[in-house]
Structure 1
Amino acid sequence: MGILSRLTRHKEAGAEDDAIVREGVERVIRLHPQLRLAAGFERRLSRAVRVSLRHLNEMIGKLPTARKASRETWSADPCIHAYFAAPDDVAQVSSRSEDLRRFFEENPGADEAFAVLGMVILERSTLGAKQEGEMVRTDAVRTTVSFTDHQIRICGCTDSGLRREIVLRMLEQLVLEGLSRITASAAQRDALEQERALLKTRLQLLERQGVGMGQVVGGAASADPAERVRLKTQIEENAQHLAKLGLRSEALQQELEQISEVLDDPAAHMDVTIRRVRLDAMNVVVDETSSAPAHVLDLPVARVPALPGKFRGFDLIRFARRDLLPVPRMADQANHPLI
C-alpha cells in the first residue's frame, strides 16, 4: 500500500509538472503568438520552459514563508518593522495597491491575500552617535537603510499559489529578454539591407563614370579602380552579415530558437539573492561584532541583467481583508504621501 501511495504521489507530481509546463508554453505564445507557425514550436518550447521552471522553482522555493503584514506585526516582526516607518503605514501602503483591491473583489471568499511586496532599498551614510566600548562617539559614520516605492502587484489565495505565479511571471521576463534580442536582430537586418542598397547604388554610379559626355569633355572624374574594389569588398562583407541572420523566410524559426536559448539558460538572465543585514530599531546597520540590540534580516533581492541598475528588494506577505482601508480614507491620505 505504501508503494502504491508513493507511485500515486509521483504520478500526480508528474501531472502537475506537465500542467505548469503547458501553462508556461501558453504564456510564451501569448507574448509572441506568431511562434505557433514555427515548425516544432511546442516541442522546442516545452523543453526550454521545463529547464527554466526547474531553475526558477528552486530560486523561489528558498524564499521564507509569507509573513503577516499588519499594524500588530509591525512591532513583532523585525522585517515588517524595517519595511514600514510606522504601524499605520502598513495598511496605508497596502491599501493603495489596485492589484490587491482587485484580488479581494475577484475573490470574495478570501479573508487574506498572499502577495509580493516590492521595494527600493536605499542606503545612506550619516554622522551620529555610536557606542564604542565605554565611550560614545557623536561623529561616527552610520549607515541607515530605508525602504521606499512600496508596490504590491502579484497576489494569490495561498502561499504555494503565489509562488507559482511568481515563477510564471519570471518566465515571462525571460521571454521579454528573448523578444529584445529578436528586435535587435530585426533592426540589424534592416540596417544591413539599407547599407547594401546604398553601396550597390554607389557602385553603379562609379561604374558609370566616364560614360557619355563625361568621357568626351572630361568634366566628370574618372572611375577609381581602388574605390570600386573597396565598395565590392564592403558589399561582400555586408552580404555575409546578412547571411548569418538568415533569410526572412527563416526568421520565425530563428525567433523560436532565440527565445528558447534564453529559456535554456535562465541563470544568465535573472537572479534572486538573499542579502543578510543586521539592523537596529532605527534601521541603522549594526556591525556583527557589536553587542548593540539588532535583528538579522534576510532580504530577497531581484536582479535582472536586461534592466541595468534595477535592483529591487521584495518579500512575501499576507494581508488581511479587514485591514484594507476604505477608498474615501485613501483619497484623504493622497494629500499626505509617505516619504
Structure 2
Amino acid sequence: MGFFDRLWPRKPARPDPQTEQTRALADRLTELSPPLKLARDWRARLTPALAQSLSYVSDVVRTLPPAHEASAANWLADPYIHAFFAAPDEIAHVLSRSAELHAWFESHPLANETYAVLGMAMSERRSFGVAQHGDQVHADVAQTTLSFDDHQVRVCGETEADLRALIVQRVVEQIALEGLAQISADETRRDALEQERALLRTRLQLLTRHGAGTHRMVGERAVADAAELARLEALIAANEQALAALGLKTDALEHELSVICEVLAHPAQHANVEMRQLRLSPMNVLIEPGVAETGGVSGAPIVVPLAHIPASPAGVRAFSLVRFARKDLQPLPRVLDEDSRFVI
C-alpha cells in the first residue's frame, strides 16, 4: 500500500449489478413495455431493482426440492408422486393433456425426457375415519385428507438447472407485470378522475348560475344551494388532490419506470413461496406433528412448495419439479377425445 493510500484509503468497489442475466431481463421488460426505453437512464435505474428481484427469487428457487420422476413405475416408491396422483395410470394420462408439454417434445426431437413444473390445486377435507392407537381401534376420529387436482404443466426445460433458471426468469417477469398492472390501474383511475372532475365543474357552473352565493339571503333554497356549493367545492378539491398524486401525463414515462422499479425492489410483496412440511398416510390423510409412527400410524414426510401470488385469481397453488419421459407421453388428440365424451 502506498503513502497516499494509507492517508486516503480507497473504498472497496461495489459489485456491478449489470450482469448478463439482468441485461437480458431488462431487454425482456422493454419488450413487454416498449415505452420504457424512452425514459431517462432506464437501464441504469432498472438494473438495481432487477438485481434485487433476481437475488430473492434465485434464493427461493434454490431451496425447492429436487425433481421427481413422474411415472407409473415410480408411483409406489416416491411419496411425492404417490401423494400428487390417485393412481399410477393417472400420471401419464393427466400430464399428456398439456399442450405445452407436447410442443416442447416436438421442438426437442432428440430429447428422451424433460424437466417440468407441475402446478396443482391442493385442497383439504375434514372428515371422520378410523384410526389405530396401540392395540385399540378408534372410530369417528377427526381426520384431514389432502387432495391434488387441476394438474398443469406449462414450463419445461432440458435439465433441472435449465428449468430452475426458467422459473427464476418467469417469476421476475411476473413481478414486473404486477408493476405494469399498477400503471394500468393508475391510468384507468386518472381517466375516471378526469371525467368526474368535468362533471363536478359542470354541476358547479350550473349551481353558480342559479345565484348561489349572490342569491337572496333568505329562504330554504338559498341555504340548500349554499350547502351544495360547499359540497361540490370540497369534492373538486379532493378530485384535484387525487389527480395530483398520480402525477402529470407528461411525466408518465418517469412514473411508469418508477413504479416498476419500486415493485421489483420489493419482490416478496408480490410473489413468495411457502415450504409446507407434511406427513401423509398412504391414503393422503394428514398425520399431525407429534404423532408417533406406532400402532399402524405411519407416513412419509414431504415438503410441498406453495406459491403465493396476490394478483393471481388462483391465490395459492402447490407445485413440484418433475421429470417426465417421452415414452410415457400419450397422443394429445386421443386424450382430448376421451375427455370430450364427458363434456355437455
Q: Pick the TM interval, shorter chain.
A: 0.7 to 0.9
- Residue 99 in structure 1 maps to residue 104 in structure 2: no
Task: Find the aligned partners of 1:16 and 1:318 in 2 and give their Cα distance.
Answer: 33
Task: Find the aligned partners of 1:84 and 1:105 in 2 and give their Cα distance.
Answer: 26
Q: 1:62, CA displacement in angstroms?
A: 0.3
Match of 1:322 in 2: 327
1:164-196 deviation digits (Å, cap 9, x = unpaired): 111111112112211221122112212221222
- Residue 160 in structure 1 maps to residue 161 in structure 2: yes
Task: Find the aligned partners of 1:228 and 1:84 in 2 and give their Cα distance.
Answer: 67
Cα distance change of structure 1 residues 178 and 167 upon mapping to structure 2, 3 Å threshold: same
Match of 1:179 in 2: 180
Q: Identity over the aligned pairs, expressed in percent?
A: 46
Cα distance change of structure 1 residues 249 and 83 upon mapping to structure 2, 3 Å threshold: same
Q: 1:226, CA displacement in angstroms?
A: 4.7
Q: Which runs of 5+ in 2 are unaligned?
A: 1-14
Cα distance change of structure 1 residues 15 and 64 upon mapping to structure 2, 3 Å threshold: farther
Residue from 292, 304, 309 that aligns with 1:289: 292
Task: Find the aligned partners of 1:227 and 1:71 in 2 and give their Cα distance.
Answer: 74
Alignment of 1:1-339 (within 5 A): 18-210=19-211, 224-287=225-288, 288-291=291-294, 292-307=297-312, 310-327=315-332, 329-331=334-336, 333-334=338-339
Runs of 4+ in structure 1 over 6 Å off: 14-17, 220-223
Over the aligned positions, Cα root-mean-square deviation in angstroms equals 2.6
1:115-172 deviation digits (Å, cap 9, x = unpaired): 0001111111222211122211122122111110001100000111111111111112
Task: Find the aligned partners of 1:259 and 1:40 in 2 and give their Cα distance.
Answer: 14
Q: 1:45, CA displacement in angstroms?
A: 1.5
Match of 2:5 in 1: none
Q: How many residues align?
A: 319
Task: Find the aligned partners of 2:121 and 2:27 in 1 and give their Cα distance.
Answer: 31
- TM-score normalized with structure 2 length: 0.85
Which is helix-richer, 1 or 2? 1
Which range is displaced more, 147-156 or 30-39?
Answer: 30-39
Q: 1:103, CA displacement in angstroms?
A: 0.5
Task: Find the aligned partners of 1:336 and 1:67 in 2 and give their Cα distance.
Answer: 32
The one-letter amino acid paired with 2:327 is R
SS in 1 for 2:19: helix
Task: Find the aligned partners of 1:240 and 1:323 in 2 and give their Cα distance.
Answer: 61
Match of 2:10 in 1: none
The one-letter amino acid paired with 1:171 is V
The one-letter amino acid paired with 1:151 is Q
Contact 2:102–2:332 (CA under 8 A) maintained in structure 1:
no
Which range is displaced more, 159-168 or 26-35?
Answer: 26-35
Q: Which runs of 5+ in 1 are unaligned?
A: 1-13
SS in 1 for 2:174: helix
